[in-house]
Structure 1
Amino acid sequence: MGIATHAQTVLDWSDLSEGISWELPSPENIIPGFQEANFSPKIRALEGKKVVITGYLLILDSTQSVYLLSKNPMASCFFCGNGGPETVLDLMFDQKPSFVMDELLSVEGILYLNESNPNACYYRIEHADAISFK
């Protein structure tokens, strides 16, 4: 697991990859292409806690209001076939950030887990605050 610092845990993408497995949903909940998440006890223990992770900013809409953090830049991210859904996470900023697509960021915020919503990533960071490495 990542390194614990004063008030947050520093996560690596391998922590997220190792902290999740999937199972087929029950027949009444089947949504094509979606599998329900099963999180490890270590990752579950971090839910609702402050974490830090570094990755590439992805902006998914023209109004710049939907943000993801990715293990890889856009050209090789999960959506383009490199890695699985555990290599991206939703970012919920309190204020609209001024960063640009593919900018390398270190993001701090509160970690939440998604086991069953097919319209969201399996991991989410709320109250996100970020710094750039430019």
Structure 2
Amino acid sequence: MRILLVALSLLFINPVQEKSTWKTLAKVTIEKKFDELMNFEIDYPTFSEEVKALDGKEISLEGWMIPLDELRGENYFVLSALPFANCFFCGGAGPETVVEVFTTEGFDFTEDRVKVTGTLSLNADDPSRLMYVMSKAEVTD
């Protein structure tokens, strides 16, 4: 019986953990600063200690693909916590709801929800990148 309970609990940890990870990633404050070089205001994040603890760690997230391969290559997309119509780029949420993803292998674009596992890096300084970047990522259904 104990083995069955452990096995069942493992089945349910990942979905809860992934939702929890998006909630953790939301624990960031954004400050707008004028950038002299770019000549406009840019969002600069300040990460909470909980978010900083994820830096360099392997995490899993579920979300929707936003294909931007023409910008960075064929193994690149942006993962959104929300469906495309509600994502950050479409005005429905903030920058904490998207992650740049660099995969280890090619992937097939889908409009369905996907699970992505990879190494998270925090970006507080490069305004040409998102504040969350996942590398060495694998996409599963």
| TM-score grouping bracket, smaller chain normalisation | 0.7 to 0.9
Consecutive unaligned residues in structure 1, runs of 5 or more: none
RMSD: 2.7
Where does residue 34 of structure 1 map in the other structure? 42
Give the counterpart letter for 1:97 in structure 2: F
Match of 1:69 among 79, 100, 103: 79
Q: Which runs of 5+ in 2 are unaligned?
A: 1-12
CA contact (8 A) 1:59 1:65 kept: no
TM-score (norm 1): 0.79
Change (3 A) 1:59 1:108: same
Q: Deviations over 1:54-105 (max 9, x none)?
A: 11111024574530100112122111110001111100101111232x2211
Moved more, 115-124 or 58-67: 58-67
Give me the whole-angstrom Cα distance separating, in 2, the residues matched to 1:31 and 1:17. Answer: 27
* 8 Å contact kept, 2:44–2:124: yes
Match of 1:51 among 59, 62, 68: 59
- The answer as to whether partners of 1:9 and 1:50 remain within 8 angstroms in 2 is no
* Equivalent residues, number: 126
3-state secondary structure, aligned to 2:106: coil
More helix by share: 2
Residue matched to 2:25: 16
Structure label with greater radius of gyration: 2
Percent identical pairs in the alignment equals 30
Distance 1:9 1:84, change over 3 A: closer
1:120 maps to which residue?
A: 129
